[in-house]
Chain A
C-alpha cells in the first residue's frame, strides 16, 4: 500500500482522488446492475446536466472553504441569478447575451457582498451566508413578483445558449466545465491569490503578520465563488429551463458535499479542485441513480447529508492523526 502511495504518478494525481474515482466507477456499475435501463447515453447525459451547475457551485465554494469559511447561499443565489436575468430577458426584452452577463453579475454581486462582510467587518461566514441566502430568495421573489421564469427552448431563436450544455448528443458542457476546473486549479495552485487564500485558511494571523493584505484576498475568494455561482445559473437554466423563486437550498449541501468529499478541508488551508470535480460527479450520479431506482429525492437529501458528515469526520480524524 505504502509503495503504491509513493509511486510518482499516484502522488501527482493524489491517492485519495484515485480512490474516489474508483468509487465513482463502482457506483456507476452498481446502478447499471440494479436498474435495467441505466446503462447508455441518455442517463449519462442526464447525469452530466446535473453535474454542470452543481460543479460550478462546488468549484466556487471550494475557494470559500479553502479560506476556512463557508457559503450557504450558493444555491439560492444561483436561483436568484437565473430568475433575475431570466425576468430581464422575458419581461424587459433584454438581449440574451446581456441576460447571461446579468446572471454572472448577480452571482458576483452576492459574492462581493458576502466577502466584504466576512473579510472587512469580520461577521462570521456562517451568519453572513445564512442571511444572504434569505436575501437572495427575497430579492428573486420581489423581482419576479413571485412568478417562475422559463428560459427559451432550444429550437427558438434565442435558444442558442443551450449549446453551452450540448450540441446534438455531444456534451459541450463537460468540456466547458473541465476547462473552468483547470482554470480554478491553476488559480488555486499557481497564482498569488490561490497561495494567499490557502495560506490564510491555514493560519490567518501569520499571513497578516507577513504583511499580506488578507482582507483583500479573503474577499476575493467569495467574489470568485459568487461569479462561478452566476455561471452555474446559466447551466442550470440551459438544462432545466424553468426556475421557481423560493428554492435552491438543497444544492448548498450537495455542492459542499462534493467539495469536502474531494478532500477540501472544512477547517481551511487544504483544497483540491480535482477532488471537487470527482465529488460532484459522484453526487450527480447519486441523484440520477436514486431517481432511476424510483426512490424520491428525499433519499438523496438524507444521503448527501450523511456524506457531508462522514467526509468532515474523515478530515477531523486525519488531522488528529497528524497531530
Chain B
C-alpha cells in the first residue's frame, strides 16, 4: 500500500426525511483494495454517488491527489480519474466490444469513425489487463462476466486512478469471479486505488486489504482485513451477533408425504430431464452456479415459461400447469429472484400487493372488501415485521427487504402449500435476511413445503433439509443435509456432463 490518494472527510448529505450520510470518513490508498461494506441502506452507494458527482454533498471535503475537489457529474470525475464500474452493465448489445469501450469519444478519420484504430486501442487495453477478448466481437455474444471485463477495460481507458466496483460479482460465475480477482490484483499492482462494494463476505476476505463498515449512514470503522474475522465485520455491520451455522440434520418427519413430484421436466436448453420430489414440511435447496437452470426449472414448474415435456404431480395427483394461473390454483406460489420486475406492483399499496394473488377471497359481491383487505394485510405486516408506515403506503417507497416481505405476504395470503423461493435474500441486508430465514423455518414447521433456490452456499447449508444440485440445465446430484458439504456440492455444481 502506498500513499493516500483519496480522502473523504466528514461527508454529510440529507434527503428530505432521511439523513443519508452523517459525517462519514473514508480514504483510499494507492495500491490497495478497500472494501466498503454495510447493510442495504447503510449509505455506501450514496457515498460513492457523492464522490462521483451524482449527488451534491451538504458539507465535508473530498481530497483527491492532494487537492480538494468537487465533481459536478460523472464525466468530470472520469476525466480526473475516478471511475465507477456499475453493478448493472451499461453496454449496447449490438455494438462491438471496441465501439462500446470508446463510445462517446470515438476515434475519427475525417468524418468517419476509425474502427480500426479503436480495435487496436481496445486490444492494447485488454493486453494490459491480460484479458482475452476479441475487440471486434459483438457485445451481446459475450457472457456477463466478459461484458464486465469490458466495463473494466473501459474504466481503465479513462486513465483511472481510483476505480469503484459496485457489487461486481453479483452476476458472475465462480470462474468469472476468479478472473475478476486476477484483474483487480493486477490493478492493485499498478498502484491504483480500488473501492470494492460487495455483500459477499468470502470475497472480502480474499481480495481486500482494508474494510470500512458503514451503518445507517454513519461511519462505523475501518479494519485491516487480515487482522479481523468475518464475525468482526458482520458485528460491525449489524451491531448484533448473527449465526451462520449449517443445519445439522433434516427437520422433515420420516413419514412426511410427497406433496410435489416432478418427472422428466424439459424446457429448452436450461431444463433437461429434471426430476425431484418435495415432501411436506421440507425445505429443498436448489444449489448451483449462475446459469445452472434452477430459475428456469422453477419458472417451468410454475407455468411462467412453456415446458416441452414432463409430468407434475401434486399430492400424488397429476396436474396440468400451463400458466401461473394454473399453478396458483394448484397451491404453488413463486417468489421471483427479481422482485422489482416480477414480484411487486410498485404503484400499488402494500395492501393491494398483499391480496394480488387471492383477491377473490376479499370480495363482497362485485366489490373489493377494502376493510377485509386492509385487515389481512395489516396482519401480515405485523407477523412478518414489515417496516411500513401503513398498509396504504405505495410499495415503491419500501426498502428491498420489506418489499420482499410484501411478496411473501402475497403468497401467504393466498395460503399456498408449496412455495418456491428464488434467491429470497438477494440484495437484502443481513438483519432482514435473518428474519426471512426464521420465517421460512416457521413456514416449514407449519407444514408448508419450500423450494429454495440460492447461490449462496452458506444459505443452502443453513436452510435446506435436502439439496438438489444443478449444472448446465441438468440435475447433477441430490444430497441430504446430513451428508452435505460445500466441497461435495461445488463438485457436483461444476461437474462436466459427458
Contacts and interface: CB of A to CB of B under 8 A. Distances in A.
Interface of A: 186, 190-192, 195-196, 198-199, 202-203, 205-213, 269-270, 322
B41 interface: no
A206 B363 contact: no
A207 B324 CA distance: 10
Contacts of A192: 359-360, 363, 368
A211 B347 contact: no
A322 B324 CA distance: 31
B347 A202 contact: yes
Contact of A190 (B348, B360, B367): B367
B192 to A, nearest CB: 32
Given A209-B304, A210-B357, A203 B363 contact: no
A212 B325 contact: yes
Given A191-B368, A210-B328, A210-B357, A202 B345 contact: yes
Interface string B317-351: 00000011101110000101000011111111000
Given A198-B348, A205-B342, A270-B347, A211 B367 contact: no
A195 B347 CA distance: 12
A210 B324 contact: yes
B183 interface: no
B352 interface: yes
Given A202-B348, A205-B341, A269-B347, A195 B359 contact: yes
A178 B396 CA distance: 33
Contacts of A208: 304, 323-324
A108 to B, nearest CB: 20
B302 interface: yes
Contacts of B343: 206, 209
Interface residues of B, number: 31
A321 to B, nearest CB: 11
A212 B356 CA distance: 8
B410 interface: yes
A81 B345 CA distance: 37
Contacts of B336: 209
Interface of B: 302, 304, 323-325, 327-329, 334, 336, 341-348, 352, 356-357, 359-360, 363, 366-368, 370, 396, 410, 414
Nearest to A189: B368
A213 B363 CA distance: 17
Q: What are the 4 A-B residue pairs with the smallest beta carbon separation, nearest first?
A: A211-B328, A210-B357, A202-B347, A210-B356
Contact of A195 (B304, B344, B357, B368): B368
B359 A209 contact: no
Contact of B344 (A191, A206, A213, A270): A206
A206 B341 contact: yes
B336 to A, nearest CB: 6
Contact of A211 (B329, B345, B396): B329
Nearest to B304: A209
B290 to A, nearest CB: 21
Contacts of A198: 347-348
Contacts of B324: 208-212
A322 B366 CA distance: 33
Contacts of B360: 192
A199 B346 contact: no
A213 B325 contact: yes
A269 to B, nearest CB: 4
Nearest to B368: A190
A195 B370 CA distance: 12
Given A190-B368, A195-B352, A212-B325, A207 B345 contact: yes
Residue among B368, B396, B414 with max Cβ neighbours from chain A (10 Å) = B368
A3 to B, nearest CB: 16
A192 to B, nearest CB: 6
B354 to A, nearest CB: 11
